[in-house]
Structure 1
Amino acid sequence: MIERRIAVVVEDDADIRGLLEVVLQQSGFDVLSTDSGVAGVKMAEKHRPDLVTLDIGLPDIDGFETARRIRRVSDAHILMLTARSDEIDTVLGLESGADEYVTKPFRPRELRARVDAIMRRRASTEGVQRGDSPTEGQPAVQAVDDSVTEVAFDTAHLRALNGLVVDVAMYSVHVDGQPTIVTPTEFTLLEALVGARGHIRTKTDLVRRLRDEELDAGTYVSAADERSVEVHVGNLRRKLGDSVQKPRWIETVRGVGYRTVAKR
């Protein structure tokens, strides 16, 4: 029996709330909805949803505070919906615990594609957390010696660089032999950068990677989309213990994007 996914919709506009319910039901979710941030937090804590869509302008507590409270009690993927296009709102949303955002008005088909991409990433992570085994004959990351200092593997799932080991099958990250916890979004960005083997990945490339699109898809990428990538990369660097000034792994190419530093 296929387990149904659960989504919580926190939206004070009745028309948009109804639209979100339909889109998410079409994507295979059982949907709970509310127009209250406080109620949304309680739903997230009680029902353990896979996805929460969250409006910024709510009648009781705003979306930023709602995201912070949900993040304390749930690991659901938080998709923030906002009519505001200001960069500061994007940054505040991501720093409050949201994983990504969608600007209103949105097209239902585009929203569904975004949700489907989110769930594919989440499903890969959950499969590993349940204990799914790597391909027979391939080593698990835990067995990697902490003396690894360069790209030493050429397997389908292991990437190593300067003490950083990324296992795309196990969805795990190790730094100098120690496990490092990252979000699915951060993992996708890290895998894209390490997998590029020193080639530049533009912010537009990385936005499309997060959307699960082809790099040459030609879809619109806004300045706010690119800013969200900057925030996620900043959070990733902090978790890895990387330095902007003297990067060990992720180097900023000013005005363009990012690349991994040369092996040492």
Structure 2
Amino acid sequence: MYRLVRFFKRYYAVFLFVLLEAGAISYYANSTSYTRATLLAGAARVTGGIEGFFASAGDYFSLRRENAVLLERLAEAETRLHAAIPAGDTLAARTDGMKYLFGTAKVVSNSIARQDNFFVIDKGTADGIEENMAVLSPEGAVAGYVRRHSDHYAVCMSVLNGSFSIGGRLKGSEYFGSVYWDGTDPREMTMVDIPRYADVKRGDTVLSAYSLRFPPDCFIGTVASVSESPDGIYHVIKIRLGAKMNALSDVLLVKYTDYEELETLAGEHFSDADKKKK
């Protein structure tokens, strides 16, 4: 009881101020119909804003869940498209007669600011994950591939890695070259080996080509700029990445079932073999 009395004695000025303010606001609010309407309108705006904020937040998390479900359905559809199999089969379920198997995962860790970037997904050996499986963004753009894995997680080499390389071609053209990241802009990659006489325009689409990790014609990005190589023999093309690597959350996994056989046969001669740093 003594502490309660001390508390009120110490803060009585604050309580008195709040009481007087409440009385003043009440008197003002009931003085005229206009002031009552004005205060009610203001309260409605504040309440509406708060409700709108929480509704938007709820919609956002609901959208994330819906996107994950849609990606799962897309993986099943892509697998069945390449070979007729029952819905619900997983990456580890069947491989007979199929070149590509599709699955999904969530990104739990990601980096874009280093010279050699990686990201981690929440699927591993127990989910049928294997090394060299392709990883695509939800839009189907090239994002990286599986490098190492444990029972429940996998580390993936990002396209934003100095050792990453993939064969690419210009859509609607017979020309193809090598696509890699030069370690500067995380939104762009570089394409070389396209001959100087090839017609390349800004906005042209670049797709995967002659890759064993990635299915044919996976979207890599669009041409952002074109210049000549120092020797004037080929174009140096900057590609605006299709995958939003700084916002990667859900991904699509692709397993090429003949990879090991062809790796044994061709080894480092793959068009998308890891670049050897000098």
TM-score bracket for the superposition, by shorter chain length? under 0.3
Which of structures 1 and 2 has the bigger CA Rg? 2
Q: TM-score, normalised by structure 1?
A: 0.24
Structure scoring higher RCO (CA < 8 A, sep ≥ 6) equals: 2
